[in-house]
Amino acid sequence: MSVIGIAGAGAFGTAMGVVLAEAGRDVAIWAHEEPFAEEIRQRNENPRLPGVQLPPNVAITSDIDAIGGSELVLLATPMQVLASVLETYGPRLRARAMVACCKGVDLATGRGPVAIIAENCPETVPAVLTGPSFAADIARGLPTALTLACADPAMGVSLQERLSTPTLRLYRTTDTVGAELGGALKNVMAIAAGIVIGTGLGESARAALITRGFAEMQRFARAYGADPETLAGLSGFGDLVLTCTSAQSRNFSFGVALGKGQYFDPEVTVEGAATARAVAAIATARGIDMPVTHSVAHVIDGRRSISEAVKILLSRPLKEE
Ligand SMILES: NC(=O)c1ccc[n+]([C@@H]2O[C@H](COP(=O)([O-])OP(=O)(O)OC[C@H]3O[C@@H](n4cnc5c(N)ncnc54)[C@H](O)[C@@H]3O)[C@@H](O)[C@H]2O)c1
Ligand SMILES: O=P(O)(O)OC[C@H](O)CO
């Protein structure tokens, strides 16, 4: 079996590399900058995933051609750089399947990872790996369950087998739309949940936000033809619960900092911020009712204060659940 290629040397790509390598697969992780690749090699540890030593069968490279011949490539870059990475390097990747691990909607085009893969790498089968999982938990070998979505059923089975390990349990679906939207939208709701907690609105308000946020996620996904069952699974409801309730989540922590009026390190990856803007724009254009998403986008862009956003959400007309 050929080396599994991973494009993107962040916390998630590295965690996947570690868990797959410990299950006996050979892995090569591509970092886009050589000094960063060299730092990881020197320390045998990625500063984005501190405290995790790399097994010997994980190679770190800044040469894209080192993963160019891999039959299977995981795409683990942040969502907002995926399109430029594939525009630049896609022609040098000859993978039979590419599995997007990034969660979000591209702000420039409103597209998800599957459409971006399809446009730039038309010869490959696109797939999505998503669901409730912190990189640190995966890398430590803690039990984790994810959704593997691939429209090609046979390839889906093959990917499920190749990417499952004794601690990483993959469930399969052909609904790539539902899987990628669940992962994208839950990050927006996690920012909102963080704002609720950061401003001291309380646990009951957070439960209400999660529930109404989930209704909003389902509405948006339905408009794109997703299967509601997918949203109720790991990639939607499961990840929503994890991300809205854990201080480990960067999206949730960003929301808490916003709510408290505290500084938040701009170097930290917060996928829900750009996705809130992207989804709000699409929702307006397509007439999809997305009040929480609009509020998050407005607050992030400084167009509305948190107290104004809360007042607007609470003064919406009373209606049936
Ligand atoms: N960290 C997690 O727990 C976790 C879990 C599930 C999914 N994800 C998803 O995985 C994706 C990556 O997140 P992460 O946590 O690994 O991010 P990260 O912040 O840990 O690392 C991002 C990495 O992306 C790479 N990168 C940045 N700009 C790049 C560019 N222009 N070209 C190529 N590579 C570039 C860099 O190597 C950087 O280290 C996100 O979409 C995230 O939602 C993360
Ligand atoms: O730290 P976050 O908020 O990017 O969340 C990480 C994962 O997506 C949780 O499933």
- Sheet containing strand 27-30, strands side by side: 58-61, 27-30, 4-7, 72-75, 97-100, 125-130, 144-150, 168-173
The answer, yes or no, to whether any atom of ligand 2 lies below 6 A from the CB of 243, is: yes
Mean pLDDT, range 284-310, rounded to an integer: 96
Residue 153 burial class via C-beta count within 10 angstroms: exposed 0-12, middle 13-18, buried 19 and up = exposed
Q: State both tokens at 291.
A: 């009040």
Is the sign of the CA dihedral 244, 250, 253, 254 positive or negative? negative
pLDDT over 70 at 178, yes or no = yes
What pLDDT, on the 0 to 100 scale, is given for residue 2? 84
pLDDT over 70 at 270, yes or no = yes
The CA 13 to ligand 2 mean position distance, Å, reads 13
The answer, yes or no, to whether any atom of ligand 1 lies below 6 A from the CB of 85, is: yes
What pLDDT, on the 0 to 100 scale, is given for residue 1? 66
Q: Which of 120, 115, 67 is nearest to 95 (CA)?
A: 67
When the pLDDT of each residue in the chain is averaged and rounded to a whole number, the result is 97
pLDDT over 80 at 246, yes or no = yes
What pLDDT, on the 0 to 100 scale, is given for residue 217? 98
What pLDDT, on the 0 to 100 scale, is given for residue 321? 84
Distance (Å, rounded) from C-alpha 280 to C-alpha 290?
A: 7
Q: How confident is the model at residue 296 (pLDDT cuts 50, 70, 90)?
A: very high
pLDDT, tens digit (0-9, with 9 covering 90-100), for 273-284: 999 999 999 999
If one counts every other C-beta atom within 10 angstroms of the C-beta of residue 91, the result is 11
Residue 77 contacts residue 40 (beta carbons within 8 Å): no
pLDDT over 70 at 136, yes or no = yes
Residue 312 contacts residue 295 (beta carbons within 8 Å): yes
User: Which ranges constitute the DSSP H helices of 2-132?
Assistant: 11-22, 34-43, 65-68, 79-89, 113-120
Q: Which tops the pLDDT comparison, 213 or 320?
A: 213
pLDDT, tens digit (0-9, with 9 covering 90-100), for 76-127: 999 999 999 999 999 999 999 999 999 999 999 999 999 999 999 999 999 9
ipTM of model over 0.90:
yes
Q: How confident is the model at residue 315 (pLDDT cuts 50, 70, 90)?
A: confident
Q: State both tokens at 179.
A: 């899987």
Pick the residue whose CA is nearest to atom 10 on ligand 1.
102
The answer, yes or no, to whether any atom of ligand 2 lies below 6 A from the CB of 193, is: no
Written as one letter, the residue type at 139 is A
Q: What are phi and psi of 53, to 5 degrees?
A: -80, 140
The CA 125 to ligand 2 mean position distance, Å, reads 25
pLDDT over 70 at 295, yes or no = yes
Q: Is position 186 annotated as part of the catalytic site?
A: yes
The CA 311 to ligand 1 mean position distance, Å, reads 35
Cα–Cα separations (whole angstroms), residue 257 to 231, 240, 295, 300? 28, 19, 16, 12
For helices 291-300 and 306-314, give the axis angle rounded to 10 degrees: 170
Task: Give the E-state strand segments of the chain in sequence order.
Answer: 4-7, 27-30, 58-61, 72-75, 97-100, 125-130, 144-150, 168-173
Ligand 1, residues 18, 36, 77: which to mutate, most atoms within 8 A of Cβ?
77
Distance (Å, rounded) from C-alpha 234 to C-alpha 229?
A: 10
Ligand 1, residues 41, 75, 252, 269: which to mutate, most atoms within 8 A of Cβ?
269
What pLDDT, on the 0 to 100 scale, is given for residue 316? 87
Distance (Å, rounded) from C-alpha 275 to C-alpha 24?
A: 36
pLDDT over 80 at 147, yes or no = yes
Percent of the chain at pLDDT above 70?
A: 100
**Which domains does the chain show, CATH number per domain?**
4-174 (3.40.50.720), 183-315 (1.10.1040.10)
From the list 186, 260, 311, 319, the catalytic residue is: 186
What pLDDT, on the 0 to 100 scale, is given for residue 89? 98
pLDDT over 90 at 35, yes or no = yes
> Is this prediction's pTM over 0.95?
yes
The CA 312 to ligand 1 mean position distance, Å, reads 34
Residue 64 contacts residue 89 (beta carbons within 8 Å): yes
The answer, yes or no, to whether any atom of ligand 1 lies below 6 A from the CB of 48, is: yes
Residues making up the annotated binding site for NAD(+) are 8-13, 135, 250
Mean pLDDT, range 208-234, rounded to an integer: 97
Percent of the chain at pLDDT above 90?
A: 96
